Every structure is written in structure tokens, then in C-alpha cells.
Structure 1
Amino acid sequence: MSTAFSRRFQLVVDQLAKGNKKHFAELTGKSASHIYKICRGMSRPSMAYLQELYNEYKVDLTWLLTGEHSEGAQVAGTPKNSDLVFAPMFDVQASAGMGSDVVAEDVEDYFAFNKSFLSRQLNVSGDELVFVTISGDSMLPTLHDGDRVLVDMSQKLVNHEGLYLLQSESGLMAKRLSDHQGSLRVVSDNPEFENRTIEASARDANPIAGKIVWCARIV
């Protein structure tokens, strides 16, 4: 799974090689597989390699390692405006139907949000936000097939009824959830689909991935 460091590293790849990991590997003298692993959070580069990135491309290592900009520094692949938060779009689908297996977790793109918008309008921070794509029509008219939803992965408890991503045996699903004395009510907004209840004893086998807080749709 992507980490904060790997997401910042991906931004460097985006800036220096237009997101092409193979080209970035060639530019910086590493194998493409190694760059893929770094971008996916499966590996960390050596300090010697990071120093080369600074020497050759003036990448701000303070920002890359900590997320904080050095005073006066220009960071390859990162916005100058520290008020922006970048939410990664994962190459996964959340089924609004019978469930969809997660087969890949590559980052397809990044979406920028202003921190004040996230706090004021959505009441979330930018620390654990990700985008996934909705597949299926069981959540119509609320969510449509192809919608991209912003998920706050820090919200894994159902304190109030809302839209969540649920990991079930059949895959990742977008559903309306509510807690009923420990049991979890799983509702499809589309009345053509059946609702169900996950008993308290089975909730550990059906973990909540996060809460859906925003939706983007092509009109």
C-alpha cells in the first residue's frame, strides 16, 4: 500500500519523467522494478540515491523525507503552495453491486485539494485520503457506475449512518452502513438490491476500509 513517502516520491517521478517510472529509472540509474516498489511503498531508497536526486535534480530531501519544505526550496514534483493536499487515485474499483476483488493498488493520478476546503466543507484532514472508482449500480441514485469517490481511510468506525467502503469476502464494496447494537446494517440505496446485516461476531471478517466523504462525476 502506498505510504506518505511513496506518494511524495511519485510526485517527483511525475515532475521529472511525466509519471513514466521506466523513464525515471533510466534517468536516475535504477531498475524500473525498484522504482515501482518505491512508488508502491514496498521499498525505500538509500540515502546515497536520494543524495544523487538532490545533486542532479535539486529535489528537496527535507520535503521528500518529512513532508516539510526547506526554506526557499523548490521541490521537483510538489506544489509551491503548502496549503494543497494531494489525494492519490488508486487503480482499484469499489463495487456498488455484489463486490469487486482488489487486483491492483497502483497510483493512477493525484488530485489536489485545498486544506481549508477539506476542513471547512468535508470536515476531514488530508492525511489518509484516497480516490477509488465505483463499479455497479446498487447505490443508485446516490452513486453511479464510474463515479470517483474520495475516501477518508482514517474513519473506520460507524458512529453515524453514512457511505463507507466495506471489505467483504466478495471484495471491496461501497454501501450505506449503520451500527445497530454491534451488528452492521448494510444498505443498497437502489431498492432493486437486497440489504443485509453483518452480525457483530462477523464484523472482523468484514473490515471497514474508510468513509466516503465526496464524489466526483462526469456530467
Structure 2
Amino acid sequence: MNFTMKKTSQKIWSEIDKRRKSGDKTVTWSELVRKTKLSRSFFYALRDGRASEPSKSNIEKVAKALNCDPNEIWGTSQNHNCLPVIKQPANYKAVPHSGTVSIPEYLITASAGHGLTIPDLEDAECIWEVPVGLISRLPVSSHNKLAIFTIAGNSMSPKYVPGDRVLIDLSSDRFTHDADYVFRTDDILMIKQLQLIPKATGAVIRAISLNEEFIAWELPVKELNIVGRVAGKWVFE
């Protein structure tokens, strides 16, 4: 399930694709990675429509590699401070003496094009007060580091569909076992099923979409930046 590609990302890929189709040898994958110092997964995500808005520094790197003005790609109306940032709220803890845990819900969907900063509970869409006994039954490592995201995209359907809420265990910010994770790579924020694949040249992470229309792809372990593990859907009936 991907956070929908935005206008700037489309412009970048459109320019790269145009030059590649014209036979320009300076925009091969190897040359782009060498010149920009960005990962192949960054460019694959642009190609496949999995990219959120890139940061100013990465725009400038790509523009330099393409030998063009960054404003030709960015556009003068774009916000230049759009790297997705997610951090644990400083005052995120169980409500004293209430027997409940406070879980903030953040709206991370296609409309959240510039990512999300979470400085404290007040910036959440809402706060769920959940009985400790209920949370204790869930596969989470910590009661005090949970969040709910509403996500967009269909690459993980039918397991997750657009509009589903998912509970994220923010304390599980390292790969420990094959599971569904929310993670970042370069400027890309997404949810995928991750698998560790041993190889002679070194282990890699395989990012798998459950929707068969989307192909799996791989990235080096060192390029993986996990936000949290998906504990499950957040559904009440």
C-alpha cells in the first residue's frame, strides 16, 4: 500500500523517462545512482508510482544529474520542506489511574502529501482511550508506543484496502522477522510485507505487495528505515 505519488515526483520521473526513451546514456540506473548518491529503490519508486514528495536536497541532486534547473522540476509554488518525519510523541503514555492507554490516530493518506510530523498528542486527528486489558491481547511490544494510521493505495489489497485504519507498533522500529512494516527509504513512506533474503553478496530486504499487479522489489538492509510494525487492522464492529 503506497502513499500516492504527487506532482513533483511525477515531474521527476517524466523528465527521466523522456531522456531514457531518447537514448540518453547519462540517465541509466547506474549513472543516476552514481551521480545522485541516491538508491536504486528511490528511482524504482518514482517509476512505479510509489513515491511521496521528495525533499529539496534530493530534488537538487536529481536536477544536477540531469543538468537542469531544480525549479524546472519543482515549480515555484511547491513547499520545499516536505520530507516525511514521524517521531514518538514526547508525552505519549497511559492515562494515569484510568486503566486505559492513549493511542493517537494520525491521518496519513494521499492527502498528507508532505508527510507528517508528530510532536505531541495534540497534533493527532483524535485520541483513542483503550482498556489496557484489550491492548495486552495484541501483538505489540509496548503499550506506550502505538499509533493508528489511515492509509491509501491498493498494493496490499485484499489484506488492506484504501481507508483502512492500522495499528502501528512504533517500538518495533527494527526488522526482527518477516511481517508487515511501515518504513521509509529515501523520501518514500509505505507499508509492505518485508522479508529478509540471504544472498552471497549480503542479505537484502524484499518488499512484497499482496496485490499481484505490483511486483516485489529489493533493497539493501542498510537502506531500510523502519517506522514501526503493523500490529493489525484497527476495526470495531
* TM-score, normalised relative to structure 1: 0.57
Residue 106 of structure 2 is matched in structure 1 by 90
Following TM superposition, by how much is the alpha carbon of 1:153 offset from its aligned partner in structure 2, in angstroms? 0.8
Match of 1:102 among 115, 118, 123: 115
Opposite residue 89 of structure 1, the aligned amino acid is: E
Unpaired stretches in structure 2, ≥5 consecutive residues: 1-86
Residue 191 of structure 1 is matched in structure 2 by 212
Match of 1:3 among 89, 112, 127: 89
Following TM superposition, by how much is the alpha carbon of 1:156 offset from its aligned partner in structure 2, in angstroms? 1.9
Residue 134 of structure 1 is matched in structure 2 by 151
Identity %: 26
Question: Could you tell me whether the CA contact under 8 Å between 1:156 and 1:210 is conserved in 2?
Answer: yes
Question: For 1:189, what is the secondary structure of its paired residue?
Answer: coil
Opposite residue 3 of structure 1, the aligned amino acid is: P
CA distance in 2, matches of 1:68, 1:216: 20
Residue 214 of structure 1 is matched in structure 2 by 232
CA distance in 2, matches of 1:162, 1:4: 27
Unpaired stretches in structure 1, ≥5 consecutive residues: 9-66, 70-79
Residues 140-160 of structure 1 show CA distances to partners (whole Å, capped at 9, x for unaligned) of 011110111110011122222
CA distance in 1, matches of 2:166, 2:95: 28
Please identify which structure carries the higher strand content: 1
Change (3 A) 1:103 1:87: closer
Residues 34-79 of structure 1 show CA distances to partners (whole Å, capped at 9, x for unaligned) of xxxxxxxxxxxxxxxxxxxxxxxxxxxxxxxxx784xxxxxxxxxx
Question: Could you tell me whether the CA contact under 8 Å between 1:130 and 1:150 is conserved in 2?
Answer: yes
CA distance in 2, matches of 1:89, 1:148: 9
- Tell me if 1:163 matches 2:158: no
Residue 132 of structure 2 is matched in structure 1 by 115
Backbone CA RMSD of aligned residues: 2.8
Following TM superposition, by how much is the alpha carbon of 1:166 offset from its aligned partner in structure 2, in angstroms? 1.2
Question: Could you tell me whether the CA contact under 8 Å between 1:102 and 1:171 is conserved in 2?
Answer: no
Opposite residue 89 of structure 2, the aligned amino acid is: T
Question: Could you tell me whether the CA contact under 8 Å between 1:93 and 1:172 is conserved in 2?
Answer: no
Following TM superposition, by how much is the alpha carbon of 1:123 offset from its aligned partner in structure 2, in angstroms? 4.2
Change (3 A) 1:68 1:175: closer
CA distance in 2, matches of 1:90, 1:107: 5
CA distance in 1, matches of 2:128, 2:160: 19
Question: Could you tell me whether the CA contact under 8 Å between 2:141 and 2:172 is conserved in 1?
Answer: no
Opposite residue 172 of structure 1, the aligned amino acid is: L
Question: For 1:150, what is the secondary structure of its paired residue?
Answer: strand
The number of residues matched between the two structures is 143
Question: For 1:135, what is the secondary structure of its paired residue?
Answer: coil
